[in-house]
A and B are shown apart, each in its own frame.
Chain A
Amino acid sequence: MSNMKELQPYEEAYQRLGNQRQAEAEWHRVMRDDAMWSFLGKGFPTTRDESWKYTDLSAIAGARFIMEPTTSRVVFDGTEVPKNSMDAYFMFFANGWFRAELSDLPEGIRGMILSEIRSGDRFRTTLDELNVFTKDSLEDLNFALGMDGIFIDVPSGVCLEKPIYIVHRSDCHEGLCQPKTIMRLGKNAQAVLIEDFRGVDGKMCFTNSFAGVVLEEGASLEHYKLQHESRGSFHIATFKAVQKEKSVLNSISFALGAKLARQTAMIALNGQRSECNLSGLVLGAEHQTLDHVTRVVHAVPDCKSDQRFKGVLGGHSRGVFTGRVLVQRDAQKTDARQTNRNLLLSETARADSRPQLEILADDVKCTHGATVGQLDEDAIFYLRSRGIGQKTARRILASGFAQEIVDSIRHEKFRIFINDMTQKRFLDLEATA
């Protein structure tokens, strides 16, 4: 339990919201109030909470953040996003604020800016449907104080040809950024959603984001999340999805930046023959803590889930993976797989892996595996015997280990973008090794 002094700035920020709250729809105001009370009741989690055992938020709890960071005047150009190489619907958030004038929405798609939503029935329904998991206090905090966000409503049968590429850029030192992305995919709709969180060297920010998607029957979503915040920053993100019959979700998380980051993915397979594939790649260096939490709930029969997470950890970095799978009593013929493999590049790096399977049905196929290892000495010798130097050999092997996750990106242009970024990261690693 956090002490009241830690929470005081958040309470004050809530008081300051006053007038803005009055302008919101009744239900929205109630939701905000509930979230605030819930947050104040729980406070920030500590390492005594089982699910936060390895990820210590005391630095966040003890810091004083700017609750209403100023929006940045920075105009995004092609050097910062793959705007030149990728054809996408680009949307921009600066320090948690939506920059409508820089963003474009696909035609025929209803996009709503959350701070301007006054009624929004479909938005409300979507939020209600996403309300199937318990909320932790950080999600509460986002719903209590987060102002801006976007609601993307893709109608039935619409297949978006271009990805929706959302850039979240944080450059307000000590600013708290709390954006939201809510998405609804109608029957048989298809989309690619990319969330790109980035920072600016030397600026320490705290991002606490929320993304939620409802997939109607037969809908399919490719979701890519790239986290490359500045090295001093904190990044907490919650991603929730509710899947109906025959929907397919492929979600890949790349954790490269921040000092401390956690990505939580909570997926409810609520419709028969729905399928989700979650994967993630962690590239840790220095004193980074990079944490992934998953929770996949098989609520009905005949669903598939596959989780594949990898970590490459150097320096004093720490990778954490907690993979929960719940197969409910009725969810027969479930096929659930999970692997977490970690490669430690230094003596001081560390990986903690916690598979947590709870299986209440009897006719299911569930597998899991976790490994923590080092580079294979025989493989290093093999590369060196071909003239490749020791450091380069290590770099090639480490990047080869990570390649599986990069290669699983189906969108070709984004795959190339991420590949270039991870390769560069491995080259930096080689240079500092």
Chain B
Amino acid sequence: MLEIKNLHVNIEGKEILKGIDLAIQAGEVHAVMGPNGSGKSTLTRVLAGHPSYQIMKGTVTYEGKDLLRMSVEDRARAGVFLAFQYPIDIPGVNNAYFLRSALNEIRKSRGLEELDAMDFLTVLKEKMKIVEMDEKFISRPVNEGFSGGEKKRNEILQMAVLEPNLAVLDETDSGLDIDALRVIAGGVNKMRNRSRAILLVTHYQRLLNYIEPDKVHVLMGGKIVLSGGKDLALQLEEKGYEWVSPVRDPSSAFDA
């Protein structure tokens, strides 16, 4: 479904991604792990089409199409979804209106009929159960005044409503208490299916206790330095990222 080849990305002249290679098939869940500043978030934002990044080299193919040439909205309409690490507040725009606009734009682009407010509400209420969200959030402005956990739930709710083919989750576990983590992971698990690919980006292994990945990749210094099965995450948890450091220096362990 997604194939990234030798991707080099700069922001403001600084190279962040230094040759990423990654392929995900439909039905798979991949986890990308790595220390802070390794380029994890950059990778997710580049996939979604954030305009601040310059693609220096490489290709990203999504369902046979050149993803990097598509506009932000066209990527979403083609089924790419990014759950933000820091979801944005949209004052004055209520959640239901926002989500219905988004869903209808996607439906329109696929030649489907738009949902009216009533039909949409039925869909929305059903999806809210997946992330155990209170119905009061329907009419509240998008993310405004939401707690960290509520924002993350709202991201997963959006994913549930928009039903993407490729879901990229950027640090969805950060800032969550254990109950919220369980609910959100449960929501993501309910959305796993044969035709959907999920890319989880996370700093910590604990999310992977709840969402079991098919593959784990370690991103360090802008490159994927190690890939493996789900056991790799456990090893990382135990030994730390130092263990896979591409420039491993035994003495540095003592400096830290």
Contacts and interface: CB of A to CB of B under 8 A. Distances in A.
B90 interface: yes
Contacts of A388: 73, 76, 101-102, 105
B27 interface: no
Contact of A387 (B73, B87, B97): B73
A358 interface: no
A392 B105 contact: yes
B109 A382 contact: no
Contacts of A407: 92
Contacts of A382: 84, 87-88, 90
A384 interface: yes
B179 to A, nearest CB: 26
B93 A384 contact: no
Given A385-B48, A387-B73, A387-B106, A400 B91 contact: yes
B88 A396 contact: no
Most buried by B among A382, A390, A401, A403: A382
B142 to A, nearest CB: 8
Nearest to B88: A382
A49 B77 CA distance: 55
Interface residues of B, number: 32
B98 A378 contact: no
Given A381-B51, A382-B84, A386-B162, A396 B98 contact: yes
A378 B76 contact: no
B71 interface: yes
A403 B73 contact: no
A387 B162 contact: yes
B93 A385 contact: no
Nearest to B103: A387
Most buried by B among A379, A384, A397, A402: A384
A399 B98 CA distance: 12
Contacts, number: 82
B216 interface: no
Interface string B156-175: 00100010000000000000
Contacts of B77: 387
A383 B84 CA distance: 12
A400 B162 contact: no
B82 A385 contact: yes
Contact of A384 (B73, B87, B158): B73
A382 B142 CA distance: 11
Contacts of A396: 90, 93, 97-98, 101
Contacts of B81: 385-386
Nearest to A401: B92
A402 B84 CA distance: 26
Most buried by B among A386, A389, A390, A396: A386
A403 B84 CA distance: 25
A402 B162 CA distance: 27
B72 A385 contact: yes
B170 to A, nearest CB: 11
A136 interface: no
Contacts of A362: none
B34 interface: no
A400 B143 CA distance: 13
Contacts of A381: 48, 50-51, 72
Given A387-B103, A389-B105, 13 more contacts: A377-B51, A378-B88, A383-B90, A385-B48, A385-B81, A386-B81, A386-B98, A386-B162, A387-B73, A387-B106, A397-B90, A401-B92, A402-B92
Interface of B: 48-51, 71-73, 75-77, 81-82, 84, 87-93, 97-99, 101-103, 105-106, 109, 141, 158, 162
The 7 closest A-B pairs by CB, nearest first: A400-B92, A403-B92, A387-B76, A386-B102, A400-B93, A384-B72, A382-B88
